[in-house]
Amino acid sequence: MLNNIRAFNRVVRRDGVRVAAKKVIRRLLAQTSGGLNSIPDPIKHYEFLLGEESGFGLKLTSENLDQSSITWLIPDFEAQSGGHINIFRMIQLLKDRGFPNQHVVIMEPYRWSSVEEAQAALSRSFGDYGITVSLGVRSIEPCAYLVATGWQTAYWVSKYKDTLHKLYFVQDFEPAFYSQGSDYYFAENTYRLGLTGITAGSWLADKLADEYGMKTFSYSFACDTELYKPGIRHENSTKQIFFYARPVTPRRCFEIGLLALRKVCEAMPNTSVVFAGWDVKGYHIPFPHVSHGGVSVAQLPNIYAQCDVALILSATNLSLLPLEVAACGCPVVLNDNPQSNWLLSNEEANYCELSVESIAATIVNVLKNPVEAKKKASAALAHSQNSSWENEADEVAKFLKTL
């Protein structure tokens, strides 16, 4: 309860009482019985998501349209949303690479009572980069590039007439966020709409091209090496295991990781687990641990630097964490699946099967073999230091100019 009150107060300070209250109401509704029962009018809801033809079918030329203009259709944003952080990072970088005219359309439902309120909140959350904002899908105006950023936005982009290029900024295989039901297929069918995919990593690019026939271009991951870098390690007689714990995000495999970590702590009693990503204090965790909950980005490097190994699991596309943790000099343990092994090689990461036994055995092996672990960590650190969001944005900009 105390954590909820603190979170509410943070949103009030950032976005005001009205927006904070809307957020609380939305989360309460989301916690009601699942599926269509939480949507009073499912026909209206899904018909809206499927979009409608809009625009006038104008003849667009260099005389009546800025050929570098990009409009991004995004779901309403949260200040700490990783997906939105990635979108706005790319927007900012492309502004300096031949695409200065960037516009964001926030799709319904949104919390903002005015464009000015949304613009101010966006600047506070992601930085003021001179990006213009409008509210609602029907505010899309003619542009050279129109970009979908999540499956809920893709149908509207596919049906808009007044644009030269229809793109899809794909960060994960979103059907896997759902059980095998309507939302799964609504999401999956967006890959068959004929949009050009710009994907977070090669796994997604290959999957969407091979299985759905999409034209795709992938950028790789990088990290801010000014922020994420090796820090001063404090003396500690206990082995520290970092675990990216997101019980509210099923694809991060919290339960499998929890059971594996208990095995590790039983096998190596002088061991403690460091949780971050979500507040897990309400869970029964029968081994030594510290729960940091959701922490600010500025705090993360020091947390990573104090750990002897980090466990980062993903049943869908890799998150940015492995490279960011590696940039702090901490060895990483990842599940060995196509969606999660495309970034770091076997010489840079410690891979395991997505099972309790394999995860536990791999972590124990890392802790008992510090020389080998340090060798891999050093290689991963070098990888992170050679990465650059600026270089990735250069490649995306080049691709856009070839269309």
Q: Are residues 283 and 319 in the same domain?
A: yes
Asked whether residue 332 is domain-assigned, the answer is yes
CA distances from residue 179 to 35, 60, 182, 190, 337 in whole angstroms, order as listed: 10, 42, 9, 17, 20
Number of domains in the chain: 2
**202 domain-assigned:** yes
- Condensed to tens digits (0 to 9), the pLDDT of residues 60-69 reads 999 999 999 9
Per the domain annotation, does 142 fall within a domain?
A: yes
Which distant-in-sequence residues (6+ apart) come within 8 Å of 25 by Cβ?
Answer: none
Residues 61 and 93 in one domain: yes
192 and 273 assigned to the same domain: no
Final residue of a domain: which of 184, 219, 254? Answer: 219
Cβ atoms of residues 340 and 221 within 8 Å: no
| 144 and 188 share one domain | yes
Residues 271, 380: one domain? Answer: yes
Q: Is residue 234 part of a domain?
A: no
Nearest-CA neighbor of 248 among 213, 273, 203, 279? 279
Q: What is the CATH number of the domain that holds 68?
A: 3.40.50.11090
Write the burial class of residue 148 (CB in 10 Å: 0-12 exposed, 13-18 middle, 19+ buried).
Answer: buried
Query: Is residue 215, in this structure, part of any structural domain at all?
Result: yes
Residues 319 and 196 in one domain: no
- For residue 232, tell me if it sits in a domain: no
Query: Where is 147: in which H helix or E strand?
Result: strand 143-148
Q: Is residue 211 part of a domain?
A: yes
pLDDT single digits (tens) 84-127: 999 999 999 999 999 999 999 999 999 999 999 999 999 898 88
> In sequence order, what DSSP letters do the residues of 223-283 get, joined into one string?
--TTTS---PPPP-SSEEEEEE--TT-GGG-HHHHHHHHHHHHHHSSSEEEEEESS--TTS
Q: What is the pLDDT along the chain (403 residues), one digit of tens a residue?
A: 444 455 555 555 545 555 555 455 444 444 433 443 478 899 999 999 999 999 999 999 999 999 999 999 999 987 667 889 999 999 999 999 999 999 999 999 999 999 999 999 998 988 888 889 999 999 999 999 999 999 999 999 999 999 999 999 999 999 999 999 999 999 999 999 999 999 999 999 999 999 999 999 999 999 999 999 999 888 888 999 999 999 999 999 999 999 999 999 999 999 999 999 999 999 999 999 999 998 888 999 999 999 999 999 999 999 999 999 999 999 999 999 999 999 999 999 999 999 999 999 999 999 999 999 999 999 999 999 999 999 999 999 999 999 9
CATH number at 297 reads 3.40.50.2000
Q: Same structural domain for residues 254 and 297?
A: yes
207 in the same domain as 88: yes
Residues 156-179 pLDDT 10s: 999 999 999 999 999 999 999 999
Could you tell me if 279 and 370 lie in one domain?
yes
Coil/strand/helix, residue 56: coil
Judge whether 100 lies within some domain.
yes
Q: What strands, in cross-sheet order, belong to the sheet with 239-244?
A: 289-291, 271-276, 239-244, 309-312, 332-335, 350-352
Number of H helices, E strands in the chain: 14, 13
Whether residue 68 is found in the same domain as residue 201: yes
Domain that holds residue 193: 49-219
The answer to whether 99 and 68 are in contact (CB under 8 A) is: yes
Question: What are the tens digits of pLDDT across the range 331-348?
Answer: 999 999 999 999 999 999
Task: Please name which of 205, 73, 246, 266 lies closest in space to residue 151, comparing C-alpha atoms.
Answer: 73
Helix (H, G, I), strand (E, B) or coil at 188: helix
Do 214 and 264 fall into the same domain?
A: no
Helices 356-368 and 254-267, axial angle in degrees (round to 10): 50
332-335 and 289-291 as β-strands: parallel, antiparallel, unpaired?
A: unpaired
- Label residue 323 left, alpha or beta by phi (over 0 means left) and psi (-120 to 50 means alpha): alpha
Asked if the peptide bond before residue 142 counts as cis, ω within 30 degrees of 0, the response is no
Supply angle C-alpha 176, 177, 182, rounded to 5: 85
Q: Do 203 and 76 lie in a common domain?
A: yes
